[in-house]
């Protein structure tokens, strides 16, 4: 009888434990469902204004382009606010983001709200919007293109290290860190920079209605405050997101009081990984080396 009693007690304890873990599992599923509902409730949940954040260095981003294309196709998204806080990035990245924003603007109004820094490729992207808003102290402009190269042939000579390059033509693999840049190589690279610069200026001229002296005034790569950019016709208004929403309601017929929802943001874990990775890219040297292709980026230490 004692054995039977112990057996029954053990069975009851096991059932209680199983009930506890089963209940905990059900609770976890419910919480996950609520979290998913909260995350994806923007889809099909009535009209809203989409908000998309662009931060850090701008490069070609297929996921971002896909997210913006989704906003363009979403009939519930009545407008898009793109918040830009970026020193720039690759020319291709800036051009790609510009084109994606223009594609959205073909379907619905787009406003760019510039944060503390929106320069170079960041400004290139901003002019893809129908309206550009910035704070008085926003640093913007820096309309230009740059290519960095590091040449260490002198250091190699001192270390007694020789480097030889076998190439198909005199301009192949120019610039190279293992030899001095030739006059012909420098000329070709300057032409490359100039052509990309002309592309950038053409976009500014088209989108901002600038030409002649007005365009030349901002074509030398200088940075400007928001107030200076306003005077130079590079932005449309001084303000922030509230002003962007007010303009959409007053000028574009967007219904008053619509919620503003983040769309296309990386999840929290991905953002943490990005921030951790960026800790290793804080020096000028590493920023120069981690961007492939031509660069349209502003950094105070690079000027």
Q: Which helix (H) or strand (E) holds 54?
A: strand 48-55
Q: Which of 251, 239, 247, 262 shows the shortest CA–CA distance to 49?
A: 262
Report residue 40 CA to chain centroid gap: 22
Greatest Cα-to-Cα distance within the chain, rounded to the nearest angstrom: 104
CA–CA gap between residue 190 and residue 161 (Å, rounded): 30
CA–CA gap between residue 28 and residue 31 (Å, rounded): 5
Select which of 172, 180, 278, 286 is catalytic.
Answer: 172
The 10 Å CB-count burial string (b at 16+, else e) for 112-150 is: bbbbebbbbbbbbbbbbbbbbbbbeebbbbbbbbbbeee
Residue with tokens 């009851």: 12
- How does DSSP classify residue 57? S
- Dihedral of the alpha carbons of 293, 296, 300, 303, in degrees to the nearest 10: 80
Select which of 86, 96, 100, 120 is catalytic.
Answer: 120
Catalytic-residue membership of 172: yes
Q: Which of 294, 157, 150, 144 shows the shortest CA–CA distance to 204?
A: 144
- Classify residue 166 as exposed, middle or buried by CB count within 10 Å of its CB (0-12, 13-18, 19+): exposed
Catalytic-residue membership of 120: yes
- Both tokens of 279, joined, read 């800790």
Q: Which helix (H) or strand (E) holds 297?
A: strand 295-297
Q: If DSSP codes are grouped into helix, strand and coil, which group holds residue 168?
A: coil
Q: Which residue numbers are catalytic?
A: 120, 172
């Amino acid at each position: 009888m004692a054995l039977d009693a112990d057996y029954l007690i053990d069975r009851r304890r096991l059932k209680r434990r199983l009930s506890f873990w089963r209940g905990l599992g059900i609770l976890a599923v419910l919480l996950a469902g609520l979290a998913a509902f909260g995350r994806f409730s923007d889809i099909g949940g009535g009209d809203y204004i989409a908000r998309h954040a662009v931060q850090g260095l701008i490069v070609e981003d297929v996921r971002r382009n896909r997210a913006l294309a989704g906003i363009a196709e979403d009939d519930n998204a009545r407008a898009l606010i793109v918040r830009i806080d970026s020193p720039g990035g690759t020319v291709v990245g800036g051009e790609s983001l510009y084109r994606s924003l223009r594609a959205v603007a073909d379907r619905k109004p787009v406003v760019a709200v510039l944060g503390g820094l929106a320069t170079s490729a960041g400004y290139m992207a901003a002019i893809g919007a129908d309206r550009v808003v910035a704070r008085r102290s926003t640093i913007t402009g820096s309309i230009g293109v740059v290519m960095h190269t590091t040449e260490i042939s002198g250091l190699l000579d001192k270390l007694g290290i020789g480097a030889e390059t076998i190439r198909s033509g005199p301009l192949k693999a120019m610039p190279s860190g293992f030899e001095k840049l030739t006059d012909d190589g420098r000329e070709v690279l300057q032409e490359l920079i100039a052509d990309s610069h002309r592309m950038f200026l053409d976009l500014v001229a088209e989108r901002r209605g600038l030409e002649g002296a007005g365009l030349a005034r901002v074509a030398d790569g200088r940075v400007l405050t928001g107030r200076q950019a306003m005077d130079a016709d590079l932005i449309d208004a001084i303000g922030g997101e509230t002003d962007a929403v007010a303009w959409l309601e007053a000028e574009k017929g967007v219904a008053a009081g619509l919620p503003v929802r983040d769309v296309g943001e990386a999840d929290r874990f991905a953002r943490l990984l990005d921030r951790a990775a960026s800790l290793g890219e804080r020096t000028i040297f590493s920023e120069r080396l981690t961007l492939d292709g031509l660069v349209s980026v502003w950094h105070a230490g690079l000027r």
